[in-house]
Amino acid sequence: MARRIKPTERPVEPLLWLLFSGGGVAAALFAPILLFLLGVAIPLGWIDPPGHADVLALARNPLTRLVVFGVCVLSLAHWAHRFRYTLYDGLQLKHSLINLACYGGALLGSALAAVVLLML
Amino acid sequence: MTDHLVRDAGERAPLYRPHVSRLWWVHRRSYRLFVLRELSSVFVAWFVVFLLLFLRAVGQDDAAYQRFLDWAANPFVIAVNVVALAFVLLHAVTWFNLAPQAMVVRLRGRRIPPRMIMLSQYAAWVAVSAVVAWLLVGR
Amino acid sequence: MADRITLEVTRYQPELSTAPEVESYEVPLRPEWTVLDGLNYIKDQHDGTLSYRWSCRMGICGSCGMSVNGDPKLTCGTFLSGYAPGPIRVAPLANFPVIRDLIVDISDFLKKLVRVTPWISRPDERPVSEREYLQTPAEMEEYQQFSMCINCMLCYSACPIYALDPEFIGPAAIALAQRYNLDSRDAGAHLRLDVLNTPDGVWACTFVGECTTACPKDVDPAAAIQRYKLTAAMESVKGFLLPRGAR
């Protein structure tokens, strides 16, 4: 019989899933409205863009920065985990390089988010 | 427990193992929807990138902010964002619809009916969207 | 409604050929007949060598699972009239090796079932003299849905993950593990955790949900799996945060 992997030896999967789930909620709640406003309504002229001073003040607010950071990190974790599994389910691709690219990409994106938010 | 058939002379009858097509998900509507749902994660990542590009422009100066708005108004960028919006909507709807199946929530010992879980998620979605919209463009 | 319908049945006779072939048979289209009745008619009137499993013909034994027009179905509960004018493709259950004709090898599932400790497991077995274990209706409701599984394997046949990765422990095994985890009389959750909290346990599942769609007994294995992911994740978090002694 193959050696069974004890949970404590591979605690990574459950934690990745928790991040994926949190990201699913965060993305579901925030992505539609933000993409609608910033990506469609304002560019198409349906709504006037906020003034630079106003949006800068909003972005600099510590609560805004915290929430935006959380949403970005969780959403990237959501993408990384789901995309890794999609490559396996859809194209039957499984490789540690894929895991590295996905989770590494999410970490990199999170770092970039931190930099952008700190430099506001 | 054997996983082969042993015949009288100890000969094994060959099991036929059908081959799984690489495009297994093309052939069934529910599988296609599943793959579309999974691909929505790419547009969730795009959402993060776009949001960070926006915030970076905001953080620089008014000229950079205007350049971002002009870039966002480029028809190609708008097209990408329309597609992205469709996919993140697909993500949100499938996520909220599947959540009641994935969890049992109890309040004071009684199980909350799945419909209530779904309604409260959609209510939260509307509330968050309203707050974000108000903060960004409503003032 | 016409009075006959064609069944295109997959035949695999390893002593005659190395690959399956499809053969067409015409059967009467009676309103109360199921696909199983059609197969019995074929075996009776057309070709006695046709081999397939069936038993109760009322949806409780789980023997007669087959692929009907690409969908995993219990043939005893699938009416011919629902597919009129036909033809109807009848093939062996997908994702399993085929032994002969419509008979598949389900030994893989049977091995996996044993691994999830599918019985009430307690360190302190009470002697019969101490009477029964008592359970309230509310306690029974917790696991009752998952106890409805008849091991028919339609969920494995519908699951694309199982198709790609035969090591995946699969929907029914996890649903049955949950049936015991959620049973107030059971104390064996830690045994099942070791088996399920693995990459080929619950973590291979990506919530396609086809297992629940295919299930003829409303077990909802997808729900069992997702709920267990949360349970297993909480256990792992506890494993991180609490020292060994406290667990």
For B15-63, write each residue's pLDDT tens digit.
Answer: 898 888 888 898 899 999 999 999 999 999 999 999 999 999 999 999 9
Q: Is A7 part of a structural domain of the chain?
A: no
B24, B91: one domain: yes
Write the DSSP symbol of residue C21: E
- Cα–Cα distance, A33 to C70 (Å, whole number): 40
How distant is the Cα of C52 from the closest Cα of chain A, in angstroms? 31
ipTM, interface predicted TM-score of the complex: 0.91
Residue A8 above 80 pLDDT? no
Residue A115's pLDDT band, with cuts at 50, 70 and 90, is very high
Q: Is A3 part of a structural domain of the chain?
A: no
Residue B4 above 70 pLDDT? no
Q: Which amino acid is at C21?
A: E
Between the CA of residue C152 and those of C73, C78, C245, what are the distances in Å? 9, 14, 42
A61: nearest Cα among C95, C180, C106, B135: B135
Helix (H) or strand (E) holding A113: helix A96-118
Domain C4-104 sits in CATH 3.10.20.30: yes
Contact of C229 with chain A, judged by CB distance below 8 Å, is answered with: yes
Helix (H) or strand (E) holding C240: helix C221-241
Are the beta carbons of C164 and B38 separated by less than 8 Å? no
Q: Is A41 part of a structural domain of the chain?
A: yes
Are the beta carbons of A35 and B137 separated by less than 8 Å? no
B59, B95: one domain: yes
Residue B85 above 50 pLDDT? yes
The alpha carbon of B34 is separated from its chain's Cα centroid by a whole number of angstroms, namely 10
CB atoms within 10 A of CB C231: 20
B15, B82: one domain: yes
B62, B119: one domain: no
What pLDDT, on the 0 to 100 scale, is given for residue B23? 84
Q: Is A24 part of a structural domain of the chain?
A: yes
B56, B94: one domain: yes
Q: What 3-state class would DSSP assign to C8?
A: strand
Residue B1 above 50 pLDDT? no
User: In chain A, which residues have their Cβ closer than 8 Å to the Cβ of C160?
Assistant: 89
How distant is the Cα of B64 from the closest Cα of chain A, in angstroms? 10
The alpha carbon of C221 is separated from its chain's Cα centroid by a whole number of angstroms, namely 9
- Report the domain count for chain A: 1
C224: nearest Cα among C181, C184, C188: C181
How distant is the Cα of C233 from the closest Cα of chain A, in angstroms? 5
Q: Both tokens of residue C74? A: 């219990």
A113: nearest Cα among B49, C211, C5: B49
- Domain extent at residue B91: 5-102
- The CATH fold assigned to C107-246 is Fumarate Reductase Iron-sulfur Protein; Chain B, domain 2 (1.10.1060)
Residue A1's pLDDT band, with cuts at 50, 70 and 90, is very low
Q: Is A111 part of a structural domain of the chain?
A: yes
Averaged pLDDT for residues A6-30: 86
Query: In this structure, what CATH number is given to the domain that contains residue A28?
Result: 1.20.1300.10
B41, B65: one domain: yes
Domain ranges of chain C: 4-104, 107-246
- N-terminal to C-terminal alpha carbon distance within chain A: 57
Are the beta carbons of A89 and C206 separated by less than 8 Å? yes
- Report the domain count for chain B: 2
The chains in contact with chain A, meaning 3 or more Cβ pairs closer than 8 Å, are B, C
What pLDDT, on the 0 to 100 scale, is given for residue B121? 96
User: In chain B, which residues have their Cβ closer than 8 Å to the Cβ of C110?
Assistant: 1
Interface size A-C, in CB pairs within 8 Å, comes to 46
User: In chain B, which residues have their Cβ closer than 8 Å to the Cβ of C18?
Assistant: 14
How distant is the Cα of C159 from the closest Cα of chain A, in angstroms? 11
Sort strands C4-11 and C88-91 into parallel, antiparallel or unpaired. Answer: parallel
A19-76 confidence digits (pLDDT tens): 999 999 999 999 999 999 999 999 999 999 999 999 999 999 999 999 999 999 999 9
Helix (H) or strand (E) holding C162: helix C160-164
B19, B43: one domain: yes
What pLDDT, on the 0 to 100 scale, is given for residue B5? 52
> Can you give the pLDDT of all 247 residues of chain C as single tens digits?
679 999 999 999 999 988 999 999 999 999 999 999 999 999 999 999 999 999 999 999 999 999 999 999 999 999 999 999 989 999 999 999 999 999 999 999 999 999 999 999 998 888 888 888 999 999 999 999 999 999 999 999 999 999 999 999 999 999 999 999 999 999 999 999 999 999 999 999 999 999 999 999 999 999 999 999 999 999 988 888 886 655 4
- Cα–Cα distance, C138 to C54 (Å, whole number): 35
User: In chain B, which residues have their Cβ closer than 8 Å to the Cβ of A85?
Assistant: 38
Q: What is the dihedral of CA A100, A101, A106, A108, to 10 degrees?
A: 90
B94, B136: one domain: no
CB atoms within 10 A of CB A115: 11
How distant is the Cα of B45 from the closest Cα of chain C, in angstroms? 19
Enumerate long-range contacts of C118-121, CB under 8 Å, 24 or more apart: C118/C176, C118/C177, C118/C179, C118/C180, C119/C180, C120/C180, C120/C183, C120/C185, C120/C186, C120/C188, C121/C180, C121/C186, C121/C187, C121/C188, C121/C191
Question: Out of C14, C15, C222, whose CB is closest to B101?
Answer: C222
The distance between the two most distant Cα atoms of chain A, rounded to a whole number of Å, is: 66
What pLDDT, on the 0 to 100 scale, is given for residue C132? 87
Are the beta carbons of C107 and B1 separated by less than 8 Å? yes
Residue A2's pLDDT band, with cuts at 50, 70 and 90, is very low
Question: Out of B31, B98, B103, whose CB is closest to C207?
Answer: B98
- Domain extent at residue A31: 16-118
Contact of A43 with chain B, judged by CB distance below 8 Å, is answered with: yes
B97, B112: one domain: no
